[in-house]
Structure 1
Amino acid sequence: MMSVSKRELSLPGEEPDTDSYPMQSLEHTWIAVEPPLPARGAPEPESSGPLDSHPPSFESAQYDIVLRRQRQRPSTGGGVKCSAAPSRFINLPSPFEFSGWGTMSRLELGRDELTRGEEDVQRARGAASLGQFTASAIAGNAVLGSVFYALPAVASVSGVYSPISLSAAGCVLFLWRPIMEELASALPISGAPYTYLLNVSSKTLALIGAALLLLDFSATAVVSAATAMSYLGGEVTLPFSMVCEDGIRDYDAPRKFLLKYRCSVISADETLSRGNTQIRTNWVHGTEDLTAATTARAIFDGICLGVLGLTGFECVPSYVSSIKPGKFPQVLRNLHYPALLLNSLAMLFVLAHVPLGTIVGQGNILSVLAQTVAGKWLRTWVVVDAVIVLCGGVLTGILGACELFERLARDRFLPRLFTFRLPGTGSPACSVAAFVAFSCVLYASSGARLDVMSKMFSLVWLTVMALFPLSVLLLKFSRGRLTRTPRTPLFLAPLTLAVAAAIIGGNIAVDPSIVGYAAAYFLALAAAFQLTMKKVRVLHGLLWAYDQYRVLTRHAWTRTCGENLAAAVSHLRKQPVCVLVKTDEINVLIHSLLYVSQNEETSCLKLVHFYDDEIGVPSEMEANWKILDEAFPEITVDLILVRETFTPSNVAALAHRLEIPTTLMFMSCPGRDFPFGIAELGTRIISL
């Protein structure tokens, strides 16, 4: 290896091109030349000065390369980070695909911003105001109201074994409760299981969960409303959109529980007075010509359909951020035990008073039971109660859908219009209107058939319930450092998934057409959600197709269309996101940028590091930021150093300063010693 000066490399009669050398202070350039072999026995040559010194180390040579590659970086940012790679566009200029160079800045949060940030944190803490009974009442309308359409379905396949099937179906929920408690403790964020999947996996899987969840909420509302109408014989048309606007805070699950308790007491009294003649008769007729195999199949089919008596539990995590800390397990308990006892006892009393032939062919079993044991007055009470409570189930679906719509809007899947609330009541009018319209389309597309909606509802609900063990399995693998209590055993998640798969298979075996109904609705909604996620890529594809035909640029109106497409792509890609980083390790930083590149359609990324004067900024933060800014030519990476401590209020203040919602601020998984909760920060977790 020998050293040659820059002047020695120039041709005779011309000055060396000093512009091609970015580092003006370098005196020499190193060229690899094979040195002559020394003679045998000759002494080693001695160093004669700087020209014979050793070449630069690999580390400094690589650093020099980075400096030379970034010699055109503007000091104030901007410009275009063009690449030598060929462009896919023929006629459009190549810079269209690239972004400008990022900038580094230091900022201090102002007093007004800090005040607003503290107010946001206090408002979020104050939103968790629901106690165990109020929170139970919200989902209680759907959970306890599901008995009106679960009992007839179970009786049609299980007959006299229906109480056994309903009891076993209720016990299945013991597998789900600890899983749901662990998820709610780790991620107490509304919109679950969509938000669970968003924080433990990719956006694609999260959107699949959102599609299933929206279908479940809509099916809950439609089936509840249609069942209520069936109790009135189709004579009353109930505008449940108006009910949602005016009564979204009115819940009557406790009253319904008392009425069912009263019916049970009357039925028990009648059973004691009349004896067990009817139930013995039903048992004899129901067990004729049954073998052990057919009996087991009847009980299993009843279990598969009996889980519909638990619908509504999936709605509780959707508003978990509104429940007081530590009350979520009690809410699940308050819903589980009444559903377990009342469903089984109600079916037992039906068998004790109503002939089996009437039970199998009757849709309004409870009203028949009421008239049998007490007469017309109790039947009227049951019908009125069914209508009111099932309308409450509509409200439960509305509430869950509104939380989901708002979360999707904050994540930029839906327009910001879905975050708007009426000034007086605080009602999410746009979300309610959209949900009602979607539910009407769903019901109309089924031919206004309750049986079709019920089939779709059963499979969708079971699939949504399967998302909870899947989420906790991904939580343990991808976000194991998150603090939560309790921690379920690892085997419980795959066991619950296997049980969910068996129940789904049993429902399909009872009626294979269920797959077609559910798949049609799910695929349509999932495709719509995927389009909202890939909207920039869709527009990019349309722009590419436009660019392939040069003749389109010759006419004014087609040229205007192309310009509008380019402007739309540019506008959508300029919406910024933020990554909160603690370390300057290049592997951590590059994984964060890869997540943004794969999951967010943006060309504007803010890399933010909070620091104080005592510790200072990590030594390699600036150098590694420059490398990342060059490595992603399609993203402008800005480095922002914030001279503040990392607290929820300061993060909220920074969100106001940068005009980026906290839901679009990403961070790595905090450890056990992290003093704040994920719900307080409102950020998304994107790495282990």
Structure 2
Amino acid sequence: MLLAGCVLYLFKAIIGEAGSAIPLNGGAYSLLLNTTTKPMAALAACLTLLSYVATAVVSATECMTYASNLVPELDVYWGTIILLALVCILCILGITECAFLAVGVFIVHIASMCFLIAVAATFMVQNPEIMAANLREPLKYDWPLSLIFGFCVALLGVTGYETSVNYIEEQQKGVFFKTLFNTWLIVFLMNPALSIVCMGVLDLNTIESHHRDVLAKVAYDAGGKYFGLWIAADACTVLLGSLITAFVGMTGVARRLALDRCLPQFLLAENRWRRTNHLIPFTFFVVCTLLFVLLNGSVRSLANVYSLAFLCVMSLYAIGTMILKYKRGSIRRAVKASWPTCFAALAFSAIAILGNVLLAPNHLIWFIIYFGIVSVVMLGMFERVRVLKWFLYALSQSPQSWQDRFAGVTQMAMDKIRSQKVAFFATSENLEILSKAVAYIQSNELTKWIKIVYLYEDLNDPVIKRLAENLRVIDRCYPKMVFDLVLVNQDMSPEVVAQISLRLGIPRNFMFISCPPENVVLDIAEYGGLRIITH
């Protein structure tokens, strides 16, 4: 546990640098979207979506398991489905997380855990034979291997640490770094203490049999029935908060992916009553419920999938931050993680992934199955034009009546998909940068219309003429694409970008820029999601 806390300290600096350099919602997706290609960012998005699904199902099930300690007659299976439905309805109604309520739950939870540690520690002193018996149990492996496997499992106790950066735009300036530090400090101090008192109160067989409500069992044995009920109620509250966070987080990430055309556009539909994207939480509820039913209420495999997804996301943060240093080194950031820190964090996360796979190889199979399903949906969105081209080719070999019926409709569908215009803000006439930008757009966006925007102060600026000449060269290199040169007599600012977006009819998440030089202070978040695509 202590080693896992030390590794988490490394990730505190890594995630802090990523969040301060690219302060956009979306976490690893936004980081990789601004440093690598869109398919690579979609990979991180798949892992994030998978972790949200697993979080929702596991949290709902665990919440009902703890609730069954309060109400023994409660049916955990149907209670889980009903709880998922209720939270879905709340999200459709537009109810999100309340800051004051979250603070209240946090304070009560921390106080409860501290009191639990104190009561259990007292019980340990009075009954030292339980800890002694547990320590006498033979190890399954030699102690170096046991230490490594213990670290691999302990790192799963910090799942959720990366979620703060997913909502960074909603946090006030400076709060993000405090959140990272405070969360790390609590995990570093409390997780080892809870592990020790669990072993001091319960024997190993009891811990294994009560793995879904072990804290309630510790409280019951150490402090009596009513203290056990209190800890069970506290756990229910925290797990309910985790479930709501999963729905809210999923709604935000799925909306961002739909806006970026990584997920189907129908998910963006808004209801007239509450102006919420009701199809996202409803679809999320359907997926979670189907998974729960297919697993027959046994969510252990899904919990293992979440564990691997979390470790993969943390690895992507380390990789993304290293790419950020190399490709976007000129972007100003409040925190900097050293190269040794990045390499060490990546190595530890890779060891944790390998260790968890070796401990339970079947977990990898489940992970591949779930991840494959999510990836196929995402890949289908990226390759839908190619699929339609294949369909057109197959149609050309079919009878003429079929061609007359389907060819025109298919071509119209392809044209509609590629009708989305994009814009690139050119800062000079540099042909290499223009070529890189166009190549990136062609590889990552389903479009055939690019507007090159240049902001100038003087109409006699010689860059304008050279930029137009270079754009003609680009136009000859890409005959299937349409290029427009848009000149704007303004300085670069969030207000100007918003006006250009409105006039051109191009959402700001489809407007791109090259990496700003070190002497230019540019807060990407203020510009509504401009994407950095060249360096």
Give me the TM-score of the superposition, normalised by structure 2: 0.91
Larger deviation: 180-189 or 444-453? 444-453
Deviation at 1:614, TM superposition (A): 6.8
Q: Per-residue displacement from partner, 1:28-82 (whole Å, max 9, x unpaired)?
A: xxxxxxxxxxxxxxxxxxxxxxxxxxxxxxxxxxxxxxxxxxxxxxxxxxxxxxx
1:255 to 86, 102, 105: 105
Indicate the residue corresponding to 1:235 in structure 2. Answer: 75
Indicate how the Cα distance of structure 1 residues 285 and 484 shifts in structure 2: closer, same or farther if over 3 A, else same. Answer: closer
Indicate the residue corresponding to 1:537 in structure 2. Answer: 386
Question: What SS class does the counterpart of residue 276 from structure 1 fall into?
Answer: helix
Indicate the residue corresponding to 1:179 in structure 2. Answer: 14
1:299 to 142, 147, 155: 147
Contact 1:648-1:676 within 8 A present in 2 as well: no
Deviation at 1:430, TM superposition (A): 2.3
Indicate how the Cα distance of structure 1 residues 450 and 257 shifts in structure 2: closer, same or farther if over 3 A, else same. Answer: farther
Indicate the residue corresponding to 1:341 in structure 2. Answer: 189
Larger deviation: 340-349 or 237-246? 237-246
Deviation at 1:564, TM superposition (A): 0.6
**Correspondence list, 1:345-384, <5 A:** 345-363=193-211, 364-384=213-233
Larger deviation: 498-507 or 317-326? 317-326
The CA distance in 1 between the partners of 2:500 and 2:26, in whole Å, is 24
1:501 to 350, 371, 377: 350
Indicate the residue corresponding to 1:328 in structure 2. Answer: 176
Indicate the residue corresponding to 2:125 in structure 1. Answer: 276
Indicate the residue corresponding to 1:596 in structure 2. Answer: 441
How many residue pairs match? The answer is 517
Q: Per-residue displacement from partner, 1:251-294 (whole Å, max 9, x unpaired)?
A: 4464354345345336525644x562534443244324449x63
Indicate how the Cα distance of structure 1 residues 213 and 523 shifts in structure 2: closer, same or farther if over 3 A, else same. Answer: same
The CA distance in 1 between the partners of 2:492 and 2:219, in whole Å, is 61
Contact 1:508-1:514 within 8 A present in 2 as well: yes
1:661 corresponds to which letter in structure 2?
A: P
The CA distance in 2 between the partners of 1:358 and 1:171, in whole Å, is 29
Indicate how the Cα distance of structure 1 residues 544 and 650 shifts in structure 2: closer, same or farther if over 3 A, else same. Answer: same
Indicate the residue corresponding to 1:315 in structure 2. Answer: 163
Contact 1:608-1:642 within 8 A present in 2 as well: yes
Deviation at 1:615, TM superposition (A): 6.2
Deviation at 1:381, TM superposition (A): 1.6
The CA distance in 2 between the partners of 1:633 and 1:266, in whole Å, is 70
Contact 1:253-1:389 within 8 A present in 2 as well: no
Larger deviation: 398-407 or 334-343? 334-343
The CA distance in 2 between the partners of 1:312 and 1:270, in whole Å, is 26
Question: What SS class does the counterpart of residue 602 from structure 1 fall into?
Answer: coil
Indicate how the Cα distance of structure 1 residues 284 and 374 shifts in structure 2: closer, same or farther if over 3 A, else same. Answer: closer
1:220 to 38, 55, 65: 55
Contact 2:23-2:169 within 8 A present in 1 as well: yes
Indicate the residue corresponding to 2:71 in structure 1. Answer: none
Indicate the residue corresponding to 1:125 in structure 2. Answer: none
2:426 to 562, 570, 581: 581
2:189 corresponds to which letter in structure 1?
A: L
Indicate how the Cα distance of structure 1 residues 365 and 283 shifts in structure 2: closer, same or farther if over 3 A, else same. Answer: same
Higher Cα Rg: structure 1 or 2?
1
Contact 1:252-1:389 within 8 A present in 2 as well: no
1:561 has 2:409 as partner: no
The CA distance in 2 between the partners of 1:283 and 1:425, in whole Å, is 59
1:191 to 26, 39, 43: 26
1:592 corresponds to which letter in structure 2?
A: A
Indicate the residue corresponding to 1:516 in structure 2. Answer: 365
The CA distance in 2 between the partners of 1:180 and 1:304, in whole Å, is 20
1:466 has 2:318 as partner: no
1:265 to 115, 119, 130: 115
Indicate the residue corresponding to 2:475 in structure 1. Answer: 629
Indicate how the Cα distance of structure 1 residues 569 and 278 shifts in structure 2: closer, same or farther if over 3 A, else same. Answer: same
Percent identity over the alignment is 27
Indicate how the Cα distance of structure 1 residues 252 and 584 shifts in structure 2: closer, same or farther if over 3 A, else same. Answer: closer
The CA distance in 2 between the partners of 1:501 and 1:684, in whole Å, is 29
1:211 corresponds to which letter in structure 2?
A: C
1:676 has 2:522 as partner: yes
Contact 1:667-1:687 within 8 A present in 2 as well: yes
> Which runs of no fewer than 5 residues in structure 2 stay unpaired?
69-73
Question: What SS class does the counterpart of residue 424 from structure 2 fall into?
Answer: strand
CA RMSD of aligned residues (A): 2.2
**Correspondence list, 1:28-427, <5 A:** 166-233=1-68, 235=75, 237=79, 238-246=82-90, 247-250=95-98, 251-252=101-102, 254-262=104-112, 264-265=114-115, 267-269=117-119, 271-272=121-122, 276-290=125-139, 294-363=142-211, 364-420=213-269, 427=276
| Displacement over 6 Å in runs of 4+ | none
The CA distance in 2 between the partners of 1:279 and 1:314, in whole Å, is 38
Contact 2:119-2:223 within 8 A present in 1 as well: no
> Which runs of no fewer than 5 residues in structure 1 stay unpaired?
1-165
2:10 corresponds to which letter in structure 1?
A: L
Contact 1:663-1:683 within 8 A present in 2 as well: yes
Deviation at 1:620, TM superposition (A): 0.8
Deviation at 1:674, TM superposition (A): 1.7
Indicate how the Cα distance of structure 1 residues 179 and 334 shifts in structure 2: closer, same or farther if over 3 A, else same. Answer: same
Question: What SS class does the counterpart of residue 142 from structure 2 fall into?
Answer: helix
Indicate the residue corresponding to 2:291 in structure 1. Answer: 442
Contact 1:197-1:205 within 8 A present in 2 as well: yes
Give me the TM-score of the superposition, normalised by structure 1: 0.71
